[in-house]
Structure 1
Amino acid sequence: MLTRKQSDLLEFIHRRIKADGVPPSFDEMKDALDLRSKSGIHRLITALEERGFIRRLAHRARALEILKLPEAMEARLAAEHAAPEPDPKPADMPADIAALALNLPVMGRIAAGVPISAISEVSHEIAVPGTMLGSGNHYALEVRGDSMIQAGINDGDVVVIRETGTADNGDIVVALIEDQEATLKRFRRNGKRIALEAANPAYETRIYSDEQVRVQGRLVGLIRSY
């Protein structure tokens, strides 16, 4: 049986992986559980790993994999998603067909470091599992740089992006800065100021005015080649 904090952390990690395709950082876990230090998160992670609920992945910064959920939690989360959602696929399309890989355009490279030139042209296509995609249009970008490694995003990864012009605080987004440079960062809004946060302490958070930043899409998945 899990303690309340262990259960809360497991559910938080599960929800973030489902929403973003990558696990949360230790700082985000600490804030979500209202803990004073990351050492408490380390202890909770170790306890969850020892009980077989999660696994830490080697050679990936703070990358976690959910192995199972407690039955009661799994049932509750399943009930939350039981209500039908709008489906862009024809109603008579078989589930196995919908889950097949789809080709997405790779719109060049995106900086997970300092911003690079704005993305503009399709360089090639990549096959993406249909289950990774929801409604709306999607595209892919090849990551260059290491500023998002603590969010589980490494140099050379391919990120799958859902096109959108809006974002919630905490979302990992493609941000276009002054219509010239694009970067992959975590989005935070405070009034008319926007912070683009790295997930690597070697990089500073960059602050811009509302007019300087346009959201181009939100991270929904990640593809890695070994």
Structure 2
Amino acid sequence: MAPELTPGQQRLFDYMKKTIERTGRSPSLRQAAGDLGVSHGAVSQHLKILEQKGVLKRQGRYSRTIHLIGPIGNKAAVQRWREIPIVGRVTAGLPLYAQQEWEGSLVLDSALYRGQHLFALRVQGNSMRGAGILDGDLAICTPRQYAQNGEIVVALIHGEEATVKRFFSHTDHVELRPENPDYAVMRYGFDEVLVQGRVVGIQRVMETG
């Protein structure tokens, strides 16, 4: 049996549904408040009540992704999208999802990308061209502080420089291997490299105009 909604709650739910269908992403609280002509606090309160009533589910503290729930408890087909942050800089010592230096966000198909706390990092250079990763691509990553040999990872070198390379661990060093013969293999001591995530996909940003 579907939960009973007040007119205000139903209006917000219908607005969320139409916006997600049209844009593929959940609107921000500020946008929803402006479009509906209500306060930011009213939108926030209605969302909390709608979640308590089981008609929507918010995904994580650091994501504004909202899943609309169908009458039998399944996520509505419209809500196949999720939004993840584009990281401006990888910082050692903090979980990626807790960092605040974002450069926008990226909308993904949630059927393809199911991991928790995914983030995107913009690739610089063509050192991974052989793996189909080009300059300016967005590497979609799952946070992880370890890697298996051969995996493509985001590694932090000397606590400062983030790079996307193929990872190999040897008895006395770590090898970060490019996929382009024009670039040299990088070798570091174990204390010089911190794995921050594994690359699980690539999004190419197409230029228009």
How has the CA–CA distance of structure 1 residues 92 and 141 changed in structure 2, closer, same or farther, with 3 Å as cutoff?
same
Match of 2:129 among 130, 149, 158: 149
**TM-score normalised per structure 1:** 0.52
Structure 2 counterpart of 1:94, from 49, 72, 75 = 75
Alpha carbons of structure 1 residues 120 and 176: separation in structure 2 relative to 1, 3 Å: farther
Alignment of 1:53-202 (within 5 A): 92-94=73-75, 96=77, 100-108=80-88, 121-202=101-182
Q: Is the 8 A contact 2:141 2:200 kept in 1?
A: yes
Residues 109, 143 of structure 1: 8 Å contact kept: no
AA aligned to 1:93 is: N
Distance 2:77 2:172 in 1: 45
TM-score norm. by structure 2 comes to: 0.56
1:218 and 2:198 correspond: yes
Q: Kindly state the Cα deviation for residue 141 of structure 1 after the two structures are TM-superposed.
A: 1.1
Mapped to 2, the partners of 1:129 and 1:172 lie a distance apart of 21
Shift in Å, 1:94: 3.1
Are the equivalent residues in 2 in contact too, given 1:132–1:221 (CA < 8 A)? no
Which structure 1 residue ranges, 5 or more long, are not aligned?
Answer: 1-87, 111-118
Displacement of 1:109 in angstroms is 6.8
| Aligned length, in residue pairs | 130
Gaps of 5+ in 2: 1-59, 61-66, 91-98
SS in structure 1 of the partner of residue 127 of structure 2: coil
The 1-side partners of 2:117 and 2:179 are apart by: 26
- How far apart are residue 161 of structure 1 and its match? 0.5
**Distance in 1, Cα, partners of 2:78 & 2:172:** 44
Give yes or no for contact 1:173–1:215 (8 Å, CA) kept in 2. Answer: yes
Choose between structure 1 and 2 for higher RCO, CA contacts under 8 A separated by at least 6 residues: 1
Q: Is the 8 A contact 1:132 1:220 kept in 2?
A: no
3-state SS, counterpart of residue 123 of structure 1: strand
- Asked if structure 1 preserves the Cα contact closer than 8 Å seen for 2:89 and 2:101, the reply is no
Query: How big is the shift at 1:169?
Result: 0.4
Deviations 1:19-38 (A, max 9, x none): xxxxxxxxxxxxxxxxxxxx
Alpha-carbon separation, structure 1, partners of 2:200 and 2:178? 17
Q: Is the 8 A contact 2:84 2:119 kept in 1?
A: yes
Partner SS state of residue 168, structure 1: coil
Superposed CA offset, 1:34-61 (max 9, x none): xxxxxxxxxxxxxxxxxxxxxxxxxxxx
Shift of 1:95: 7.2
1:136 Cα offset (Å): 2.5
Moved over 2 A (4+): 88-98
CA RMSD, Structure 1 to Structure 2 (Å): 2.6
For the residues of structure 2 that align with 1:160 and 1:222, how far apart are their CA atoms?
6
Residues 167 and 173, structure 1, Cα contact 8 Å, conserved in 2: yes
Q: Looking at secondary structure, tell me which structure has more helix per residue.
A: 1
> Percent identity among equivalent residues?
35
